[in-house]
């Protein structure tokens, strides 16, 4: 796709108004951030840190847009290497997100259309949106098209290793703080232990909406047993019961239960999500903005989901995800990971605010987010920032 020249409009006095900037330079940095409360664990993972790929894009107007992607303790070096391949292709281009997104996707598709490639595109795309919003003096939510000012949140716990008493207190706290629902981990070696834990949680919280997350830990027979045993708890959803790439088994499972299935954190493209939608194999859509190609990729997925009347409930990075939900018509709620928001982890220094279980997105131009640069620098993986510039920079 060739660049479309956007000439600045002129006021009645002949003074040019704001123009969409060209990209002068790109900086890429990688950090490995420890989890302050210790490792996170579920059925199949043990995570000790979060790796963050940060992309800073400087426009020819001197403003800088910042984007990022994330992985659970591995892979940032690979994503960073691919980001270095992408960077020269965007320098000199207009900061127009959709055109750049499609050109980046076409550029990397030959080495894989999903996964590492969409992680890398995410960091660039988020940065481009941030730069464009700052350049136009508009918050990204309003740039996309604001639907709401406040976004409901649900409390999410990485709590499979906690006692049931601790989980009950956690969920009670979320309810008291105004969150609209709670999600807890399941996947004990003995299914009956999960059942006993959920029975105690349900007894303690009454009809408060409750979801569970299995983190792809079951095979099909185990999932059938779990769904059957969990029916009594009237769950909001059961998340990732099976490996995410097994769409036929998710479809079979969906036909045998009244409990909706939630998937998305391990899917990466609108095409992958569309396959789930066409199979009627999902009830809640949990795309991750840092994995699906950023804001542009996420909006594409949300648009397809809307044609199926499916709600978006994004995975992770509440500070960004909840903001973007303010511009998405079809939503359920955003995830507040207890002790695992990027503010909690020290990655983000300034964001919107949480009040009574609702997120109030920032209103400053661009994303309105500020990274904690000193903290990220202190946990730099490669101890350097790589810079790509145009010939005239």
pLDDT at 295 (0 to 100):
99
pLDDT at 391 (0 to 100):
64
pLDDT at 273 (0 to 100):
99
Of 182-191, 261-270, 376-385, the one with minimum mean pLDDT is: 376-385
Q: How does 172-191 read in b/e, with b if 16+ C-beta sit within 10 Å?
A: eebbeeebbbbbbbbbeeeb
Strands (E), 312-355: 334-337, 348-350, 353-355
How confident is the model over 15-38, as pLDDT tens digits? 556 689 999 999 999 999 999 988
Say which of 70, 185, 250, 388 is annotated catalytic: 185
- For the chain, list the domains and their CATH numbers: 23-138+372-389 (3.30.390.10), 142-366 (3.20.20.120)
Residue 10 has pLDDT above 90, yes or no: no
Residue 177 has pLDDT above 80, yes or no: yes
Single out the residue of 96, 117, 133 nearest to residue 5, CA to CA.
96
How confident is the model over 220-240, as pLDDT tens digits? 999 999 999 999 999 999 999
Main-chain dihedrals φ then ψ at residue 392, nearest 5 degrees = -100, 5
Q: Band the pLDDT of 61: cuts 50, 70, 90.
A: very high
pLDDT at 379 (0 to 100):
96
pLDDT at 13 (0 to 100):
52
182 vs 89: CA distance, rounded Å:
43
Say which of 119, 183, 315, 388 is annotated catalytic: 315
97 vs 102: CA distance, rounded Å:
9
Task: Reply yes or no on whether 200 is catalytic.
Answer: no
Residue 219 has pLDDT above 90, yes or no: yes
Provide the mean pLDDT of the chain. Answer: 94
DSSP one-letter string for 154-209: EEE---TTS-HHHHHHHHHHHHHTT-S-EEEE---SSHHHHHHHHHHHHHHHTTS-
pLDDT at 19 (0 to 100):
87
Of 3-17, 31-45, 202-216, 347-361, the one with minimum mean pLDDT is: 3-17
Residue 164 has pLDDT above 80, yes or no: yes
How confident is the model over 321-347, as pLDDT tens digits? 999 999 999 999 999 999 999 999 999
Numbers of helices and strands, H then E, in the chain: 12, 17
In the three-class reduction of DSSP (H, G, I as helix; E, B as strand; rest coil), residue 68 is classed as strand
pLDDT at 360 (0 to 100):
99
Residue 1 has pLDDT above 60, yes or no: no
- Mean per-residue pLDDT, 153-177: 96
How confident is the model over 108-131, as pLDDT tens digits? 999 999 999 999 999 999 999 999
- Bigger pLDDT: 265 vs 43: 265
How confident is the model over 345-366, as pLDDT tens digits? 999 999 999 999 999 999 999 9
How confident is the model over 262-301, as pLDDT tens digits? 999 999 999 999 999 999 999 999 999 999 999 999 999 9
Residue 11 has pLDDT above 80, yes or no: no
Q: Band the pLDDT of 387: cuts 50, 70, 90.
A: confident
* Proportion of the chain above pLDDT 90, given as a percent: 89
pLDDT at 17 (0 to 100):
60
232 vs 132: CA distance, rounded Å:
49
pLDDT at 392 (0 to 100):
57
Q: Band the pLDDT of 214: cuts 50, 70, 90.
A: very high
pLDDT at 383 (0 to 100):
64
Task: Reply yes or no on whether 315 is catalytic.
Answer: yes
Which residues contact residue 118 at a Cβ distance below 8 angstroms, ignoring those fewer than 6 apart? 105, 268, 269, 291, 292, 293, 297
Single out the residue of 236, 242, 299 nearest to residue 276, CA to CA.
242
């Amino acid at each position: 796709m060739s660049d479309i020249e956007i000439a600045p409009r002129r006021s009645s006095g002949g003074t040019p108004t704001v123009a969409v900037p060209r990209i002068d330079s790109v900086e890429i940095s990688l950090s490995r951030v420890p989890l302050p409360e210790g490792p996170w664990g579920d059925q199949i993972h043990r995570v000790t840190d979060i790796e963050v790929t940060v992309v800073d894009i400087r426009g020819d107007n001197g403003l800088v847009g910042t984007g990022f992607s994330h992985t659970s303790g591995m892979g940032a070096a690979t994503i960073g290497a691919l980001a270095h391949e992408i960077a020269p292709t965007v320098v000199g281009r207009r900061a127009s997100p959709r055109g750049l997104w499609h050109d980046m996707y076409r550029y990397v598709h030959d080495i894989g259309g999903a996964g590492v490639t969409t992680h890398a595109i995410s960091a660039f795309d988020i940065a481009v949106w941030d730069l464009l919003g700052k350049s136009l003096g508009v918050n990204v939510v309003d740039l996309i098209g604001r639907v709401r000012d406040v976004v409901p949140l649900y409390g999410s716990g990485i709590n499979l290793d906690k006692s049931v008493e601790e989980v009950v207190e956690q969920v009670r706290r979320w309810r008291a703080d105004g969150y609209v629902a709670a999600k807890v981990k399941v996947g004990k070696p003995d299914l009956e232990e999960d059942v006993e834990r959920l029975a105690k949680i349900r007894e303690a919280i009454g009809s408060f909406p409750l979801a569970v997350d299995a983190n792809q830990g079951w095979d099909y027979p185990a999932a059938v047993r779990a769904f059957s045993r969990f029916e009594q708890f009237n769950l909001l959803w059961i998340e990732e019961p099976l490996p995410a790439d097994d769409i036929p088994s998710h479809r079979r499972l969906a036909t045998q239960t009244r409990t909706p299935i939630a998937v998305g954190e391990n899917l990466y493209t609108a095409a992958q999500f569309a396959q789930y939608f066409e199979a009627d194999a999902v009830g809640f859509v949990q795309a991750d903005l840092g994995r699906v190609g950023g804001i542009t990729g996420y909006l594409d997925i949300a648009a397809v989901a809307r044609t199926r009347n499916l709600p978006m409930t994004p995975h992770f990075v509440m500070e960004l995800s909840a903001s973007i939900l303010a511009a998405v018509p079809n939503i359920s709620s955003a995830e507040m990971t207890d002790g695992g928001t990027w503010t909690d982890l020290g990655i983000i220094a300034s964001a919107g605010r949480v009040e009574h279980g609702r997120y109030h997105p920032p209103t400053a131009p661009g994303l309105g987010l500020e990274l904690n640069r000193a903290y990220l620098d202190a946990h730099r993986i490669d101890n350097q920032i790589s810079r790509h510039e145009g010939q005239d920079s």
